């Protein structure tokens, strides 16, 4: 069975082929999310963890809607895990970094960034849980945010990476005019993830 994991319902693409899988939408609270994953893994039926979601590009060659399959995932500048050599047609293969958080759960930029193509919100700890359980893990991300023209972190970054756009707008009501455009970008990324997911499930014998 495939355990299909996403940080929100918006980041969970439609499954367009018959497949033996279980969907898991993670809690926004890290401790609860880890408990959800551990509970799913204890079932003993999971053969592959397939993680979908959004990412912010660090490499200018990656544009909005592009797909990335992580070959290595960083939890810090010098802390990383190598992942199995999975492929997805049309996706770039490269390194992914999971944003560090401060005590409030918000990403912090005080630490040195590792050499990655893009940043996400949860890939590292999920890959670590998979490694401990000896289960292969595929991290598939769609680029939602391109490299900004100036090195400035978007205040909505935590919500954008998890797909919880409405929650971000509520936290920053001055950004409400951007809501429609953000949701359109999310829908485009989600469609790209759905197309790639269908191919991956067939390619690796789970459909």
- Across 83-100, average pLDDT: 90
| Strand pairing class (48-57; 2-6) | parallel
Tens-digit pLDDT profile for residues 100-158: 554 344 444 445 667 899 999 999 999 999 999 999 999 999 999 888 765 566 777 88
- Across 37-48, average pLDDT: 92
Q: Which helix (H) or strand (E) holds 191?
A: helix 179-203
Six-digit token string for 191: 């469609």
Cβ–Cβ under 8 Å, residues 55 and 144:
yes
- pLDDT-above-90 percentage for the chain: 62
| DSSP line for 142-161 | EEEEPPPSSS---TTHHHHH
- pLDDT, residue 62, reads 93
Mean pLDDT, the chain, rounded, equals 88
Residue 196: how many CB atoms within 10 A of its CB? Answer: 21
Domain that holds residue 35: 2-203
- Across 77-90, average pLDDT: 91
The CATH number of residue 174's host domain is 3.40.50.1580
Cα distances (angstroms) measured from residue 154 to each of 77, 125, 157, 160, 196: 21, 23, 5, 9, 28
Q: What is the pTM of this model?
A: 0.89
Residue 12: how many CB atoms within 10 A of its CB? Answer: 22
Q: How many domains does the chain have?
A: 1
- Across 73-82, average pLDDT: 91
């Amino acid at each position: 069975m495939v355990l299909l994991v996403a940080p929100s319902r918006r980041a969970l693409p439609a499954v367009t082929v018959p497949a033996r899988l279980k969907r898991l939408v993670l809690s926004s609270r890290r401790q609860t999310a880890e408990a959800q994953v551990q509970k799913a893994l204890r079932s003993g039926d999971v053969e592959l963890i397939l993680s979908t979601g959004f990412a912010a590009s660090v490499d200018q060659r990656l544009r909005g809607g592009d797909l990335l399959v992580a070959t290595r995932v960083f939890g810090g500048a010098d802390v990383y895990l190598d992942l199995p050599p999975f492929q997805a047609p049309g996706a770039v293969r490269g390194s992914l970094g999971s944003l560090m958080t401060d005590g409030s759960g918000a990403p912090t930029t005080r630490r040195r960034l590792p050499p990655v193509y893009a940043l996400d919100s949860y890939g590292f700890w999920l890959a670590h849980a998979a490694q401990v359980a000896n289960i292969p893990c595929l991290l598939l991300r769609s680029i939602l945010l391109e490299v900004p023209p100036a090195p400035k972190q978007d205040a909505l970054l935590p919500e954008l990476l998890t797909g919880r756009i409405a929650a971000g707008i509520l936290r920053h009501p001055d950004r409400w005019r951007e809501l429609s455009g953000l949701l359109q970008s999310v829908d485009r990324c989600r469609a790209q993830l759905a197309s790639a997911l269908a191919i991956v499930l067939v390619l690796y014998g789970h459909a």
